[in-house]
């Protein structure tokens, strides 16, 4: 078989604010691969199918000397993140041809030879769900919502929850988990379309933070017993101001500061005054406890419609840079997914 194109999306430069398609990331088609003869050296050949584009990508677009909980992207190398691929050839006894591979270190590259599974896993799909769901509500974002909520919310019927980015991949699952727990749910997002979606999935109070005063909403509808934070900044300050005594703050993300710098929080003294509980959420620190339970329950609930989900699907590896920028600016309408190839 003659060599074929093996396109990649490379991390090209560290952005100063928002990542710029074609500058921060570059779609590269110079590499080729012969699928039949490329040496496996005991590993396996993976064909990329679906990629998840997530807010945390911005934190990995940094200079190598800056350290964090997740490794930075390497200049000149393909991006990597959560994704799904299918095994085309294998010399690894535990990895059979035709199996589907999921995990956090899938390269943004059409085909790749991997020496071992490592942090990746073989995954089985619910017959009534598409593979794209497994990088969204049935994958890392859904796990983030489920693990964090189970571990830290201590939710009680009649309490009040406030969920930011409530139409997003994580927030929309949290809204529904909070409703199922018998809570009153306040949810915010940045467009009227997203506000309607939050209402559709059960939010009692849904508002557009760009056109509505967050503090006025929280003053009227609070105090807040559980705050799920995806944005940080001024909204976090407002949530602190209108938190209930012994409120629980579940800190999942702070996208308001990812591209323009994080602002100082003025109301941290209220952590003491209101005896608040603050918990950071990273799924890999909860995975061993909840992963099996998640797969045993959530995909079936998504397939039945008991838990609703939405996707913003883009086709083509060459669109990755555009989708990354859209996610950072909040222009995506639902969970951002890039479909690279069909099975």
* Predicted pLDDT at 338: 97
Query: 164-220 pLDDT, tens per residue?
Result: 999 999 999 999 999 999 999 999 999 999 999 999 999 999 999 999 999 999 999
pLDDT band at residue 8 using 50, 70 and 90 as cut-offs: very high
pLDDT at 294: 97
Q: In sequence order, what are the residues at sequence separation of 6 or more whose Cβ sits closer than 8 angstroms to the Cβ of residue 36?
A: 1
pLDDT band at 333 (very low <50, low <70, confident <90, very high): confident
- pLDDT confidence bin for 264, thresholds 50/70/90: confident
- Three-state SS at 28: strand
Kindly state the percentage of the chain with pLDDT values over 70.
Answer: 99
* pLDDT score, position 251: 97
pLDDT of the residue at 293: 97
Q: Which of 301, 311, 333, 324 is nearest to 136 (CA)?
A: 311
Are 136 and 311 in contact by the 8 Å Cβ rule? The answer is yes
CB 43 within 8 A of CB 130: no
219-247 burial: b if 16+ Cβ within 10 Å, else e: eebbbbbbbbbbbbbebbbbbbbbbbeeb
pLDDT in tens, 288-307: 999 999 999 999 999 999 99
What pLDDT sits at residue 65? Answer: 85
- Residues 89-122 as b/e (b if ≥16 CB within 10 A, e otherwise) read bbebeebeeebbbbbbebbbbbbbbbeeeeebee
Report pLDDT for 162: 98
Note the pLDDT of residue 37: 96
Phi, psi of 227, deg, nearest 5: -115, 120
Which is nearest to 276 in space by CA: 301, 244, 254, 305? 244
Contact 241, 267 (CB under 8 A): yes
**Using one digit for the tens of pLDDT, what is the confidence trace for 80-136?**
999 999 999 999 999 999 999 999 999 999 999 999 999 899 999 999 999 999 999
User: Inter-axis angle of helices 233-241 and 214-221, to 10 degrees?
Assistant: 30
DSSP 23: T
Per-residue model confidence (pLDDT) at position 292: 95
pLDDT given at position 71: 87
């Amino acid at each position: 078989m003659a060599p074929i194109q093996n396109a990649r999306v490379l991390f090209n430069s560290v952005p100063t604010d928002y990542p710029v398609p074609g500058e921060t990331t570059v779609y590269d088609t110079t590499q080729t691969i012969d699928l039949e003869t490329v040496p496996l050296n005991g590993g396996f050949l993976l064909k990329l199918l679906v990629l998840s584009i997530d807010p945390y990508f911005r934190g990995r677009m940094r200079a190598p000397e800056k350290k964090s909980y997740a490794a930075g992207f390497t200049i000149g190398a393909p991006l990597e993140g959560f994704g799904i691929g299918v095994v085309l050839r294998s010399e690894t006894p535990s990895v059979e041809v035709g199996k589907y591979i999921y995990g956090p270190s899938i390269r943004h590259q059409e085909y790749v030879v991997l020496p071992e599974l490592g942090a990746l896993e073989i995954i089985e799909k619910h017959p009534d769900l598409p593979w794209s769901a497994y990088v969204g509500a049935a994958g890392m974002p859904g796990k983030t919502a489920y693990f964090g909520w189970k571990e830290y919310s201590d939710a009680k019927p009649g309490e009040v929850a406030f969920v930011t980015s409530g139409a997003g991949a994580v927030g929309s699952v949290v809204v529904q988990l909070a409703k199922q727990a018998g809570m009153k749910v306040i949810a915010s997002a940045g467009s009227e379309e997203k506000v309607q979606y939050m209402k559709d999935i059960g939010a009692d109070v849904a508002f557009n933070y760009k056109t509505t005063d967050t503090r006025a909403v929280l003053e009227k509808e609070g105090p807040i017993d559980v705050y799920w934070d995806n944005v940080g900044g001024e909204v976090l300050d407002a949530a602190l101001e209108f938190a209930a005594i012994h409120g629980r703050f579940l800190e999942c993300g702070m996208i308001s500061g990812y591209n323009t710098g994080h602002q100082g929080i003025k109301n941290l003294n209220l952590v003491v005054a209101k005896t608040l509980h603050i918990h950071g959420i990273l799924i890999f620190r909860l995975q061993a406890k909840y992963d099996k339970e998640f797969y045993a329950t959530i995909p079936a609930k998504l397939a039945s419609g008991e838990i609703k989900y939405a996707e913003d699907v883009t086709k083509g590896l060459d669109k990755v840079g555009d989708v990354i920028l859209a996610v950072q600016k909040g222009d995506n309408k639902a969970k951002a997914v890039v479909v690279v190839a069909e099975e």
